[in-house]
Amino acid sequence: MSHILVINPILYTSETNDIPKVRSIKDTMIYTLCLGFLRAGQQVTLIAAEDYRPTAEETYDFPVVWMRTVWRSVFQPRCFPYMPKLRGYLKKHREYDHIISSEVFATWSYTAARVCPERTVIWHELAKHNRMMHEMPSRVWYHLVAGLFMSRVTVIPRSLAAAEFIGQFVDRVSNTVIDHGVNLEGMEPVCARQKKNRFVVVSQLIERKRIDRTIDCFARFVDKGYQDYKLYIIGSGELEQELRAQAVRLGLTDHVVFGGQLTHDRLLPMVAQSRALLVSTRKDNNMVSIAESIAVGTPVVTTSVPYNASYIARESLGIVQDDWDADTLVQICADNDVYVDHCLAYREKLSNVYCAGQFLTVFGIPEGTGTEDGKHMRTAARADSVCRRGRDH
């Protein structure tokens, strides 16, 4: 059994440095990954920024270390926090066999790379420069800091786009791509014949998500004769009232349902029973909502913007089209059984245990280590990694 430390200060997305408070972190992507390591038979500890500590007292499945951030006007907590106590913690706690740090453009990854490079890997998501201060800090960091001071650590990309981007600046980029995993426990997939005549959006209701475009396309879809379909919009945000007014203006009062913010136990059955998840975003990285949708057997209609789009197109898990419209929705309904079958066949590769197995394979941890679930998933992950290398070269 290995002891793994995960350093991921930013637990969820915030549009401003006034981090919104949540009651629980157990639905976050990184908590799910840590659960995957536990179920693969490993010990795991998570380090996160104090700014993201939930309001409710929680009991966690593994140790969570909260660290205070400082100099917030420069090291913005929503995208570039600085935790000064991390260096001392890493020097003191030598019990960790492997350290996974999120992102190359990150103060905490720099610290891990300098203190314990031989035990650290960086799990990298970004495929373009951070826009903070007109990209200047990002450009200096990748060209200078990463190349000179972080060169001894291996970078594991979260997507092919991330691999291509970070490969411009560092040499040690793994051939293994590891996406965000989802917790399949409690996720009941639904086959095509059990789905209802509806689509679903799971998103913050903010400008860059382009929910207004999704509503326009759905309106034209309804006008084509699909009067029995509904669009469920799950989430909250500053544009909610504008979007409600748009639905009324388009005569969709009986067709568009705003569900607000839902917990996973209420959200996932709603997604599972839908014909497709609809995504119109113009700026995003890997979207966990996409992985969760596929995991419950619901195909995705999306622009090419999310990094998940590459495997959606490759595995026919939905339709990737930047200008998708009402005709695209007609197509996803007509071929729904085919797309759903593809999602059901692919869902295990989105498991948090499968993703943990990919990390363990990269670490070279012997296959006999861990639980039976972990061994099974790692065998599958190793075979998939070989297949990917075969396709990529």
Calculate mean pLDDT across residues 60-76.
96
Residue 393 has pLDDT above 50, yes or no: no
* Structure tokens belonging to residue 25: 């972190």
> 233: burial class by Cβ within 10 Å (0-12, 13-18, 19+)?
buried
3-166 maps to CATH 3.40.50.2000: yes
Which comes out higher in pLDDT, residue 136 or 374?
Answer: 136
Residue 170 has pLDDT above 70, yes or no: yes
pTM > 0.75: yes or no: yes
* Structure tokens belonging to residue 241: 């009232």
Residue 116 has pLDDT above 90, yes or no: yes
| Band of residue 377 on the pLDDT scale cut at 50, 70, 90 | low
pLDDT score, position 365:
87
| Band of residue 390 on the pLDDT scale cut at 50, 70, 90 | very low
pLDDT tens sequence across 6-29: 999 999 988 888 899 999 999 999
Q: 55 φ, ψ to 5°?
A: -75, -30
pLDDT score, position 15:
81
Class of domain 192-348: alpha beta
Residue 378 has pLDDT above 80, yes or no: no
* Structure tokens belonging to residue 182: 């989802």
HSE, CB side, 13 Å, CA atoms: give it for residue 259: 21
Calculate mean pLDDT across residues 78-91.
97
Q: What angle do CA 165, 363, 69 make, to 5 degrees?
A: 65
Bridge partners of 257, per DSSP, are 232
How far apart are alpha carbons 284 and 157 in whole angstroms?
16
How far apart are alpha carbons 269 and 37 in whole angstroms?
26
pLDDT tens sequence across 283-320: 998 899 999 999 999 999 999 999 999 999 999 999 99
Q: 260 φ, ψ to 5°?
A: 70, -165
Residue 383 has pLDDT above 60, yes or no: no
| Band of residue 373 on the pLDDT scale cut at 50, 70, 90 | low
pLDDT tens sequence across 215-262: 999 999 999 999 999 999 999 999 999 999 999 999 999 999 999 999
H, E, C per residue of 275-326: CEEEECCCCCCCCHHHHHHHHCCCCEEECCCCCCHHHHHHHCCEEECCCCCH
pLDDT score, position 252:
98
pLDDT score, position 165:
97
CATH 3.40.50.2000 range(s) for the chain read: 3-166, 192-348
How far apart are alpha carbons 311 and 180 in whole angstroms?
13
